[in-house]
């Protein structure tokens, strides 16, 4: 419980600090808009969705670590989304880090749930073939089902 509270406070501070800078406020607004639009975009095949979510590289709006922290905070605060946290976080990270020129790859995986009650899914990013800011406990045991962009090293 305290760990979750600590993450909530950290995410709130990240968002609050972004409000003091016009460029960060714009980035925050873009992330919120994209995050809100994500559920409605899942009405198409995953390759088409990911093609839409792969922006051309542009001048970075912030350093990659700051982009990642802000994307994580926005994903955490969008609790009404029907998408799971890891999916929201991974899609936001993917879009904005790719836009900043970081060649991340998004991985979608699945595994049997430990209680044999079905299949669980997870989404995460890799950079140069290594998980990008992911705890090994979060992706270990998942079978990679799909990655994007195609043909890039997982």
**65-121 pLDDT per residue, tens:** 999 999 999 999 888 888 999 999 999 999 999 999 999 999 999 988 777 678 888
In a domain, 115, yes or no: yes
In a domain, 154, yes or no: no
pLDDT over 60 at 153, yes or no: no
The helix/strand/coil state of 140 is coil
- Predicted pLDDT of residue 10: 77
Per the prediction, the chain carries an average pLDDT of 88
C-alpha 96/C-alpha 92 separation (Å) is 6
Q: Residue for token digits 């979750």?
A: 4
- Predicted pLDDT of residue 1: 67
| Parent domain of 138 | 2-148
In a domain, 83, yes or no: yes
Number of domains making up the chain? 1
Contact at 8 Å (CB) between 154 and 126? yes
In a domain, 46, yes or no: yes
In a domain, 34, yes or no: yes
In a domain, 153, yes or no: no
Burial profile 140-152: b = 16 or more Cβ within 10 angstroms, e = fewer: eebeeeebbeeee
Instruction: Read off the pLDDT of each residue in 49-55 and give the average, rounded to a whole number.
Output: 95
In a domain, 93, yes or no: yes
C-alpha 31/C-alpha 93 separation (Å) is 9
């Amino acid at each position: 419980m305290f760990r979750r509270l600590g993450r909530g406070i950290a995410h709130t501070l990240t968002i609050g600090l972004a409000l003091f800078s016009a460029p960060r406020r714009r980035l925050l607004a873009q992330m919120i808009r994209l995050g809100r639009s994500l559920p409605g975009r899942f009405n198409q095949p995953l390759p088409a969705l990911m093609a839409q979510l792969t922006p051309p590289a542009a001048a970075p709006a912030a350093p990659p670590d700051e982009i990642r922290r802000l994307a994580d905070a926005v994903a955490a605060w969008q609790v009404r989304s029907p998408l799971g946290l890891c999916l929201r976080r991974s899609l936001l990270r993917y879009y904005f880090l790719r836009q900043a020129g970081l060649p991340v790859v998004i991985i979608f995986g699945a595994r049997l749930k430990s209680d044999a009650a079905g299949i669980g899914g997870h989404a995460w990013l890799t950079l140069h073939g290594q998980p990008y800011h992911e705890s090994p406990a979060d992706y270990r045991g998942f079978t990679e089902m799909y990655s994007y962009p195609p043909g890039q090293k997982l």
